Amino acid sequence: MQKQKIIVISAVLVDVIGFGIVIPILPFYVTEFGASPTTITLLFATFSFFSFLSAPLLGMWSDRIGRRPILILSITSTAIGWLVFASAHSLWMLFLGRIIDGLAAGNFTTAQSYMVDLAKDEKERTANIGLIGAAFGIGFILGPLIGGVLSKVSHAFPFWMAGMLAAANAITAVFFLPETHHKRDSHKPMSFNPLAPLVRAAQDRTMRPLYFTWSFFAFAIVTSQAVFGLFVKDVFGFSAFQTGMTFTMIGVIVVFNQGFLLKKFWLTRFSESTLEIIMLVVLAFSSLLVSTEILPLFYLSFLGLGTGQAILRVVITSQAVAAADPSKKGETMGILSALMSAYMVIAPLLAGYLYEIYYSGPYIVSALLLFLGVYFALLFRRREIRKIPLA
For 385, list phi and psi in degrees, rounded to 5: -65, -45
Domain borders along the chain are 1-175, 196-391
Q: What is the pLDDT of residue 299?
A: 97
Q: Are 219 and 347 in contact (CB under 8 A)?
A: yes
Supply the DSSP string of 37-70, one letter for each residue.
HHHHHHHHHHHHHHHHHHHHHHHHHHHHH-HHHH
According to the model, what pLDDT value does residue 388 have?
47
What CATH fold (topology level) applies to the domain 196-391? Answer: Growth Hormone; Chain: A; (1.20.1250)
Q: For residue 385, is pLDDT > 60? A: no
Superfamily of domain 1-175: MFS general substrate transporter like domains (1.20.1250.20)
What percent of the chain clears pLDDT 70, i.e. is strictly above it? 87
Helices 228-236, 240-256: inter-axial angle, 10-degree rounding: 130
Q: Which helix (H) or strand (E) holds 301?
A: helix 295-323
Confidence of residue 181 (pLDDT cuts 50, 70, 90): low
- The model's pLDDT over 245-257, given as tens digits with 9 standing for 90+, comes to 998 999 899 888 8
**Domains 1-175 and 196-391 fall in the same CATH topology:** yes
Give the pLDDT confidence score for residue 230 in this predicted structure.
93
Q: What is the pLDDT of residue 389?
A: 47
Q: How far apart are CA 391 and CA 388, in angstroms?
A: 9
Q: Which residue has the higher pLDDT, 174 or 384?
A: 174
Beta strands in 125-233 (DSSP E): none
289 has a pLDDT exceeding 80: yes
Is 391's pLDDT higher than 50? Answer: no
Handedness of CA 101, 103, 108, 112 (dihedral sign): negative
- Amino acid identity of 119? A
Q: Please compute the mean of the pLDDT values over residues 18-22 and round it to a whole number.
A: 77
Using CA atoms, how far apart are residues 381 and 271, in angstroms rounded to an integer? 11
pLDDT at 127: 66
Q: How high is the pLDDT of residue 138? A: 84
Q: What's the pTM?
A: 0.82
pLDDT at 329: 65
